[in-house]
Structure 1
Amino acid sequence: MKSLMKKGWRPVLVLLLLFFLWETASRIFEIPAWLLPAPSQIWKVGVAEWPSYQHHLFATIRLTLIGFSIGTLVGIVVASCLHLLPLVREACYPLIVLSQNIPIIVLAPLLVIWFGFGMLPKIIIITLVCFFPIVIAALDGFRQTDSDLMHYMKMAGASRAQLFKKLEWPHALPSVFSGLKISATYSVMGAVIAEWLGASEGIGVYMTLASSSFRTDRVFVAIFLIMILSLLFFACIHLLEKKVVKWKPEEN
């Protein structure tokens, strides 16, 4: 964590440099605000209009947390079942991979037709986006369990349940958290896509209204809010990983 904080100034410096170049180019070439607003203008709009979009932000956060929680639970349960039941894994693993080849933007209208405009189709969309990285990462973690330790525990008379609980699951935790961090960023995107389809509030709704009224500055405010949410969500999962997986060596 300390090494991460020490290196954190580098991406911040690059980001500040990009904003500086963006601001300079907007002023020198006099780019119209409706085409590409300057970062300073986006900041002013974001601060000034906070009361008008804060409820959209909180709605997206709530939807993201619910969908991510369900997606995480489904992903871990599916991965555990596929690992413990090899025949089921052989039969269902290709179907899980194929399910990710269906574009969410195409599947989403069908979910609205089947389940209406309530919360359920939105949660299903986020769950579909989140569970796949968790399933794949967890299965990889289970497969990478130390074979010598596995042999030793079998020689000691450990049952299949004990092997899974005491050895395979703890060994897979770093991989599971890798999948969680990927899903955390995907969940925000999934929530925004779900909100495009007929929600009454959320960052996706705010972005749609801003785009239809040609308020490009508000569109960029929504984009930056989505990016910040994704980064904060990723950071929370990273901190949780440091608390739970204490035996994992610190990254250089």
Structure 2
Amino acid sequence: MTISTAPDAPTRSRLATIAPALICAAVIVMAWQVYVMVSGVSPRVLPAPSRVIEQGWAHREAIATNATATLWVTVVGFAISLVLSFAVAIAIDFSGLLRRALVPMFVVSQTLPIIAIAPLLIIWFGFGLLPKVIVVVLSTFFPMAIGLIEGFAATDRDAGALLRSMGASRWSEFRYVRLPSAMPRFFTALRIGITYAVVAAVFAEYAGASEGLGIYMAQQKNTFRTDLVLAAVVVTAAVTIVLFASTYAVERIVAPWIEQERRSQ
């Protein structure tokens, strides 16, 4: 019996998808390293990637502790935002009056500058978890709620009419037709929201916190440790990528038909 060790078609497809991005990132890092070595620029201004990695590893305990705090803020805030967006979107789908009343308010809320609101939240609620969670919720609620609302509205009307003709209730129509059809748009919005969540958590900590990657970067910037600032940035990017990738795993569990449709296309 011959055992094949070649990657299967889905694996090859994924590798082909991410390979250009990896190559591009490698080229940028190599060019950065060469430029620093040739130009002799001060590490306080622009440290080489090798120095960023070296110093990041040397201070890994402090970075890990602050990254854990940021991840906790992100998860709590995003979970609250997820529950709120589902509850509000479902209520709006069942009520045209709520749609006309709330959707314009959601749009207006996006004109509020978070950069101005975050310091006020710190003043009102202190340096604890609450103000940072509020910033994450404010930053992520809109894309997920709108994704669900538009997903519900884009449901095939013929499928809904067929269920109603068979005596199905409004809730049954929602459960078996409208909710599944909204999942592709929802998961697209979810991926947007999870990236916003990490950025919002870091910014909220930057505005004022006792721990977290945001305050860690602010502290290192004040001491001209550009290498540690960049090391924290790399960790932030890594956390974001992991959370972003995890949405695909959740999608395969909750709505496996989306992946099947994606492959068929």
Do Structure 1 and Structure 2 share a fold, with TM-score over 0.5?
yes
After TM superposition, give the deviation of residue 115 of structure 1 in Å.
Answer: 2.2
Question: Secondary structure of the equivalent of 1:226?
Answer: helix
Cα deviations by residue, 1:103-130 (Å, 9 ceiling, x for unpaired): 1110112222322222111111101111
Out of 112, 131, 137, the residue aligned to residue 127 of structure 1 is 137
Question: Which residue of 2 is the match for residue 54 of structure 1?
Answer: 64
Identify the residue that residue 262 of structure 2 maps to in structure 1: 250
- Give the superposition deviation at 1:57: 0.9
Paired position in structure 2 for 1:65: 75
Aligned length: 252
> How far apart are the structure 1 equivalents of 2:67 and 2:123?
26
Partner of 1:92: 102
CA distance in 1, matches of 2:161, 2:102: 28
Shift of 1:7: 1.9
In 2, Cα distance between equivalents of 1:135 and 1:81:
11
Residues 140, 196 of structure 2: 8 Å contact kept:
yes
Pick aligned residue for 1:118 from 125, 128, 143: 128
**Alignment equivalent of 1:8, drawn from 18, 33, 53:** 18
Q: 1:71 offset after TM fit, Å?
A: 0.8
Name 2:150's counterpart in structure 1: 140
Q: Distance in 2 between matches of 1:57 and 1:101?
A: 29
Which stretches of structure 1, 4 residues or more, deviate above 4 A after TM superposition? none
Match of 1:22 among 25, 32, 50: 32
Is the CA contact 2:187–2:247 (under 8 Å) kept in the aligned structure 1?
yes
- Give the CA RMSD over aligned residues: 1.3
- Pick from 109, 113, 118: which aligns with 1:108? 118
* Separation in 1, partners of 2:22, 2:200: 26
What is the percentage of aligned positions where both structures have the same residue?
35
Task: Give the letter aligned to residue 39 of structure 2.
Answer: F
- Please give the alpha-carbon distance, in whole angstroms, between the structure 1 residues aligned to 2:171 and 2:30: 57
Match of 1:196 in 2: 206
CA distance in 2, matches of 1:50, 1:20: 23
Distance in 1 between the 2:105 and 2:17 partners? 41
Match of 2:90 among 77, 80, 83: 80
Deviation sequence 1:1-28 (CA, Å, 0-9, x none)? 6323332222111110110111111111
Q: How far is 1:243 from its partner?
A: 2.2
Q: Show CA shifts across 1:97-154 (max 9, x none).
A: 1101111110112222322222111111101111111011111111111111111111
Give the match for residue 3 of structure 2.
none
- Tell me, which stretches of 5 or more residues in structure 2 are unaligned? 1-9
Gaps of 5+ in 1: none
CA distance in 1, matches of 2:230, 2:81: 28
Q: Residue 7 of structure 2 aligns with which residue?
A: none
